[in-house]
Structure 1
Amino acid sequence: MDVIGLGETMILFTPETKGLMRYAKYFSMKIAGAETNTLIGLSRLGHQTGWISRVGKDEFGSSMLSSIRGESIDVSQVKMDPAASTGIFFKEIVNEKAVRVNYYRKNSAASRLNHLDIKEDYIASAKYLYITGITPALSDSCLEAIFQAITYAKKHHVQVVFDPNIRKKLWSEEQAREVIVKIAQQSDIIFPGVSEGRFLFQVEDYREIAQRFLELGARLVVVKLGAGGAFYSMSNESDTVPAFKIDRVVDPVGAGDGFAAGVLSGLLDGLSVKEAISRGCAVGAIVTTVDGDIEGLPDRELLENFIHSNQEDVNR
């Protein structure tokens, strides 16, 4: 197994018309989750991935498992929970500048994930363990599951990859800072954004943010800069990697998850750190050109064509 991730994926409903959701009559249904977004991105690029989670023993849970299994992700470690429901949320697109998201995830099946759901031999089979700061915020048992997974990863020399992905609505700021820093101290690779550096360390400069995470013990820190690309730092090397040019951003949601998939894909393929991060920038850029979290994630051919055409535009 190349990459294993754990966390909650939910069913997303979006009205087929813009405006206040109270007037919506028809909705489209999709799946959305930070960890599975990244795993799907990796799978489409030819890597072996696995997902650990819980879904409700309901039609939404069945639909989700079918969809994710269909993306060639191993779901053998996903439990169907008969005592809880699959989480859902609604994206209300009032207009192009006003998008509201309403979550119905409290006491969801995924929030009941616990340390007993984490199997040591499964974690040991991976090269990377991918986690985000969303999962530990869902419940105390999810927090225990995260640290159990990290413990097994450390024991078996599996690299821990961490995207802080801070969601302030899920927990107190004090607890968020404490837990995120604790996870970062046990992570090998970290993908923060500038806003997360500001929240955790009260600093704005991306170089200083990277340095703070390195001081916590990370081997590699990659600070996402959006249209500015990304800045990476290690003990003996640091540099800025430029973003890829796109004509118009259609939907920025999921770009960070695609970025993580691209970087990990590059590292798995043996690219240099800088080349891997450039691949991450390319995948993230492609994702923003399509509506939806996973719909724009490219396969190898699409990715190579995008990079080639972008390079041609630069050289003109």
Structure 2
Amino acid sequence: MVSLRSTGPLAVGGPLSMHLAGAETNVAIGLARLGHRTAWVGRVSDDELGEFVLRQLRAEGVGTDGVRRDAERPAGLMFLERRTADVTRVRYHRAGSAGSALHTDDVAAPLAAGARVLHLTGITPALSDSARAATTFAARQAAASGATVSLDVNYRAGLWSRAAARAALTPLAGYASIVIASADELDLLAEPGADEPTAVAGLLRRGVRTVLVKLGADGARAYTHDGVQQLAAVPVTAVDTVGAGDAFTAGYLSGHLDGLDLIDRLRRAVALGAFAVTAHGDWEGLPRRDELSLLTGNAAGTTLR
């Protein structure tokens, strides 16, 4: 998507800045900045906005060979308004967008090329019936090939109801090795109203190896068959929380790809989440590998010369 950001209320007008946005692209960029080979698969409009998306991805080292240009549909748009110092509101304009027309045929060839990890979110299947079918196909094919399937619930109330999300995401989670959710999203993968331990236990019984629960400023919990580990967040001055969950996911998947143990994966995940909230934009503040220690190795207000 293309994100148009305002520093004040949209209703009174004012300048907008244009950015690349999207949960999956945020994760891909986060991984690419840490030196991992990544690719994004999807559809973009065949116009200047679609070209903007591709240029941004390529500039960040994300592969785009699996991207289809759609000449019949527009780019999806997301408007963000900084309504107060602490509240940002989002407005989506993505019905009928190129991204919503994602089809199984779009993902078959990139999947056949092979990957160690396939990362999916609950946003894509909310966009359309064809996008939901493509997401399920991708998860099933990747799991069958032995790839690690990562699923971030990423529930968006503006796209579908909790009941519709539960109906689609509960079976999808059956293909996942890693499930990521905030505490209030877990019951979308279980019976309505299920508490955290019950929802997690059900996922582990179904074959999920790791369940990550994002706790925002309180850090995160990681559940496996060996038990649970919790790690506090890195204390920073937050200026923009959009994209923090995607940064967390990128950090965890980076640790997974590097063969780190669970606690060190969590450390990298919370570190990337901290980087994300200290800068404006969904992904712009994410670190390179040689910057990972900046937040943990320096006191607040440090100037490196």
Both proteins in one fold, TM over 0.5:
yes
**Aligned equivalent of 1:254, options 243, 246, 253:** 243
TM-score by length of 1: 0.89
> Unaligned stretches of 5+ in structure 2?
300-305
**Aligned equivalent of 1:216, options 196, 206, 216:** 206
Inter-partner Cα distance in structure 2 for 1:122 and 1:175: 27
Matched-pair contact (CA < 8 Å) for 1:124–1:152: no
In the other structure, the counterpart of 2:260 is 271
1:56 aligns with 2:83: no
Inter-partner Cα distance in structure 2 for 1:159 and 1:133: 17
Q: Deviations over 1:121-165 (max 9, x none)?
A: 635521000000000000000011111111220221111100011
1:25 aligns with 2:7: no
1:14 aligns with 2:9: no
Please tell me the residue identity of whatever aligns with 2:27. Answer: T
Inter-partner Cα distance in structure 1 for 2:175 and 2:53: 31
Please tell me the residue identity of whatever aligns with 2:213. Answer: V
Q: Deviations over 1:150-199 (max 9, x none)?
A: 12202211111000111122123322111111111111110111010245
Question: What SS class does the counterpart of residue 271 from structure 1 fall into?
Answer: coil
Please tell me the residue identity of whatever aligns with 2:132. Answer: L
1:65 aligns with 2:54: yes
Question: What SS class does the counterpart of residue 117 from structure 1 fall into?
Answer: helix
Please give the residue correspondences for 1:1-316 in structure 2 after superposition, counting only pairs within 5 Å. Answer: 10-15=1-6, 17-18=7-8, 20-120=9-109, 122-199=111-188, 200-202=190-192, 206-246=196-236, 248-309=237-298
Matched-pair contact (CA < 8 Å) for 2:143–2:176: no
> Unaligned stretches of 5+ in structure 1?
1-9, 311-316
In the other structure, the counterpart of 1:5 is none
Residues 94, 236 of structure 1: CA spacing in aligned structure 2 closer, same or farther, 3 A cutoff? closer
State the identity %.
Answer: 38
Inter-partner Cα distance in structure 2 for 1:173 and 1:23: 33
Please tell me the residue identity of whatever aligns with 1:214. Answer: L
Residues 259, 66 of structure 1: CA spacing in aligned structure 2 closer, same or farther, 3 A cutoff? same
Question: Which deviates more, 75-84 or 268-277?
Answer: 268-277
Matched-pair contact (CA < 8 Å) for 1:124–1:153: no
Moved over 3 A (4+): 120-124, 198-209
Question: What SS class does the counterpart of residue 66 from structure 2 fall into?
Answer: strand
Inter-partner Cα distance in structure 2 for 1:130 and 1:91: 25
Inter-partner Cα distance in structure 2 for 1:121 and 1:141: 17
Q: Deviations over 1:223-272 (max 9, x none)?
A: 111122111111123211222111x2111111110000001111111110
Question: Which deviates more, 43-52 or 20-29?
Answer: 20-29
In the other structure, the counterpart of 1:6 is none
Please tell me the residue identity of whatever aligns with 1:262. Answer: G
Residues 155, 216 of structure 1: CA spacing in aligned structure 2 closer, same or farther, 3 A cutoff? closer
Question: How far did residue 97 of structure 1 move?
Answer: 3.7
Question: Which deviates more, 131-140 or 183-192?
Answer: 183-192
Question: Which deviates more, 255-264 or 144-153?
Answer: 144-153
Question: How far did residue 210 of structure 1 move?
Answer: 2.5
TM-score by length of 2: 0.92
Question: What SS class does the counterpart of residue 130 from structure 2 fall into?
Answer: helix
Matched-pair contact (CA < 8 Å) for 2:28–2:62: yes
The RMSD of aligned alpha carbons is 2.0
Inter-partner Cα distance in structure 1 for 2:295 and 2:84: 29
Inter-partner Cα distance in structure 2 for 1:124 and 1:113: 18
Inter-partner Cα distance in structure 2 for 1:205 and 1:243: 23
Inter-partner Cα distance in structure 2 for 1:201 and 1:250: 36
Q: Deviations over 1:59-101 (max 9, x none)?
A: 0000110110111111001011001011112112222244321
